Amino acid sequence: MNPLGEKYLRKEFLPFLFCPGCGDGMIVQAFLQAVDDLGCIDDLALTAGIGCSAWIGVYMNVDILKVLHGRAIPAAIGLKATQPSRKVVTFTGDGDCLAIGGNHLLHAARRNIDMTVVMVNNQIYAMTGGQVAPSTVVGSKTQTTPYGNIEKQLDGCKIALAAGATMVSRWSTAHLKPLIKTFKNALNHKGFSYIEIMSQCPVQTGRYLLGSGSPQFNLQWLKDHCVKEEDPSRWLEVESQGKIPVGDFLRIEQPEFMEEVQRMNQRVKEEQGKGGDR
C-alpha cells in the first residue's frame, strides 16, 4: 500500500471491489492527492449513490452518506444545508447522475449550491452487466442494444453548463495531473462544481464497446480520444471526429445558494425587528 493509501484509506474495507485495471482506483488516488495537498481531510463530507463509481468515496476514511440510486445530490444538498462549513463532495456515475438522478443535477446546478459533483463516466452500466446508459455512444452494441444503440448520447458537461453550474471540467484517467489540479480548484470553489471524468472500464466498455478487455488498450483509447479543447464553439468539430473534448471549461463566481438563504433570513429578521411583522 502506498503512503497515501496508508494515510487515508479504510484498511478494513480493502481490497477495492473494482475490477483489475478499473479507473475508479486511480480517481481515489488522485482525489486523495488533492485532499492531501490542501490538508482539508477533516472538512470533507461525501455522498454517493449506487454504481461502481459510488464506491470511490467509501474507501476513504471520511464521513460518507451512501444513499438511494440517483439521490446522491439531494443528500449532499441536505448535508450542506445543515453543515455549511463542510466541503461536500458527491461521487456518482453516468447512470446515477445522468439517468435516474438527472433532474437533481439540473436543479443543484441551477441553484449554485456550494458542492462538488464528481461524475465518473464509463459510458455503460458496468456493475449490472453492461446495459446501455444515457452516455453510451450511438451505434454501440451492449447487452440491451444487441443491434446497436440508436439513442443519442447525453453530454453531462453541456447539461451542467446550460443549467448554470459555475465550475465545469472534464478530464480522463489518462490526465491525472490536470485532474488533481481541478479537484483542488473545485474544493476551493464557492459554488456548484461539476467534474466529469472519462474512466476506463475494461470489463464492460472495453469488451463490448471498444473491442478489447485489456486495461492498457482502454487507457490508450482514452489518451487517443480525449482532446484538450476548452472553447465550446469548437466542440462540434472535435466530436464529429469521434473525439471527446476535455479541459477546464468554466470557472466563474456567482451568488451561492446557502449564503443567499442566510442573507434572506437576516433581512427578514431585521424587517420584523422594525415592527413590520405580518
For binding to other proteins (CB under 8 A), which residues are involved? 1-5, 9, 14-16, 18-26, 28-30, 33, 176, 202, 215-216, 219-220
- Residue with smaller CB distance to other proteins, 9 or 210: 9
Q: How far is the CB of 61 from other proteins (least distance, A)?
A: 13
CA nearest to 56, candidates 36, 31, 28, 35? 28
Q: Which three cell numbers stand for residue 173?
A: 484517467
Cell output for 126: 458496468
Q: How far is the CB of 213 from other proteins (least distance, A)?
A: 11
Could you say which DSSP state residue 123 is in?
S
Beta strands (DSSP E) in 122-240 are 167-172, 192-198, 226-228
Between 4 and 137, name the residue whose CB sits nearer to other proteins.
Answer: 4
Q: Give least dist CB 93 to other proteins, A.
A: 16
CB of 249 to other proteins, least distance (A): 24
Helix then strand count (H, E) for the chain reads: 10, 8
Is the CB of 22 or the CB of 168 nearer to other proteins?
A: 22
As a dihedral over the C-alpha atoms of residue 155, residue 196, residue 244, residue 168, rounded to 10 degrees, the angle is 80
Nearer to other proteins, 224 or 237 (CB): 224
Dihedral of the CA atoms 178, 184, 188, 191 (nearest 10)? 50
Rg of the chain in Å (alpha carbons): 19
Task: Please report how close the Cβ of residue 9 comes to other proteins at its closest, in angstroms.
Answer: 7
Burial of residue 184 (number of CB atoms within 10 Å: 0-12, 13-18, 19+)? middle
Nearer to other proteins, 131 or 214 (CB): 214
Q: Which is nearer to other proteins, 131 or 220 (CB)?
A: 220
> Shortest distance, CB of residue 251 to other proteins, whole angstroms?
24
Nearer to other proteins, 118 or 219 (CB): 219
Please state, in angstroms and rounded to a whole number, the distance separating the CA atoms of residues 100 and 109: 16
Q: What minimum distance in Å lies between the beta carbon of 243 and other proteins? A: 21
Q: What is the 3-state secondary structure (H, E, C) of 56-109?
A: CHHHECCCEEECCCCCHHHHHHHHHHHCCCCEEEEEEEHHHHHHHCHHHHHHHH
